[in-house]
Amino acid sequence: MSNASTFARKSKNILDFKILISNLTNPTLLFFVLGIIATIVKSDLEIPRGSVKFISLYLLFAIGFKGGQELAHHAFTNEIIYSIFFGLLIASLIPFYTFFILKKKVSVSDAAAVAAAYGSVSAVTFVSAVTFLELQQISFSGHMVAVMAFMESPAIIVGVILLRLYDKDADEKGSIWSIIQHSFTNGSVLLILGSLVIGLIADTKQAEGIKPFTTDIFKGFLAIFLLEMGMVTARRFSAFRQYGLFLSLFALIIPAINGSIVAFLSSLVTHDIGNRFIFAILAASASYIAVPAAMRIAAPKADEGLYIPMALGLTFPFNITVGIPLYYAIIHYS
């Protein structure tokens, strides 16, 4: 082996190690861990529910607005169209194939709800991915925020269709149209899409006036939000353990497969490293906000003690510790 090859291999290993350490020592992740510890030791630490809701809305607003501003600085190209269609395809295929895997072990209602959660996306995981890219000084296109927003609904719709096809006792009050309508009028989806549009049409000079609010304090609010997510995860995880090893492995392996495959395939749509990374993390993430809200209507028999802890307790921490450096390495070296 030549000296050049040896040096390249050592440099790659050092870079991978630095990425892993950077992710594990990210303050936002450490606050998530602190939330878990606080619950385990039965601390009286508590964040008021109203504050958590405000922070959730703030994060969605800031993501959407910044994405709209970025999109305003770019011409509307074929890549944007292809990216949106690629995102819609991902969000439709993942719940379809995962439903049939899950149906072998859990009820049809639970399979549909879990499949919808894993086909949809997590805005908080998206934010963590954006923070990672910023640390690596890698940019991504503003239209990826729109892609994320569009990917919320298809998985919910596919999950409901599969529920109707395979569960004859499904609640008919949750019609396909009502679920589609709910998907687009859901507060989180509406806010991020609305903020995206506002950021797109807002005057650039006027938008500078709220930049400190949308940018400078963003990571601080994210850290507090993840502290709360850590406490929620620890509280709900005990309800999930009754379902056994199968679903634990599902919550770890399926996201890794989805993210890795999309990390490769995204090169067919874009060659931008940041955009490809966002695609991979969206494919690997699982929704615990929009999907539970929709599935309460569409699949009232589905157990929230199953799909929420899976998404929050296993998939989310897996993605921000192992998944993010894994998908980045696949993209960087493929």
Q: What is the mean pLDDT of each run of 10 residues along the chain (334 residues)?
A: 52 53 69 87 86 80 77 77 93 96 90 92 84 84 81 81 76 60 64 80 80 80 82 71 80 96 94 94 86 70 77 85 90 83
The token pair at 317 is 């921490």
* Portion of the chain with pLDDT greater than 70, in percent: 79
Contacts of 261 (CB under 8 A, 6+ apart): 283
- What is the Cα Rg of the chain in Å? 20
How distant, in Å, are the alpha carbons of 57, 316, 332, 334 from that of 9?
Answer: 44, 30, 14, 15
The token pair at 24 is 């594990």
User: Are the C-beta atoms of residues 88 and 80 closer than 8 Å to each other?
Assistant: no
DSSP 121: -
Query: For residues 312 and 107, what is the distance between their CA atoms, to the nearest angstrom?
Result: 21
The token pair at 85 is 């269609």
| Overall size of the chain counted in residues | 334
44: helix, strand or coil = coil
Cα 190 versus chain centre, distance? 16
Single-letter amino acid code for the residue at 216: D
User: Are the C-beta atoms of residues 307 and 120 closer than 8 Å to each other?
Assistant: no
User: Are the C-beta atoms of residues 240 and 309 closer than 8 Å to each other?
Assistant: yes
In the chain, what are the domains?
Answer: 48-333 (1.20.1530.20)
Query: For residues 289 and 308, what is the distance between their CA atoms, to the nearest angstrom?
Result: 9
Please give the pLDDT value at position 95: 95
Q: Which of 158, 153, 121 is nearest to 316 (CA)?
A: 121
Please give the pLDDT value at position 189: 62
Query: For residues 127 and 187, what is the distance between their CA atoms, to the nearest angstrom?
Result: 18
Q: What are phi and psi of 120, to 5 degrees?
A: -80, -170
User: Are the C-beta atoms of residues 63 and 236 closer than 8 Å to each other?
Assistant: no
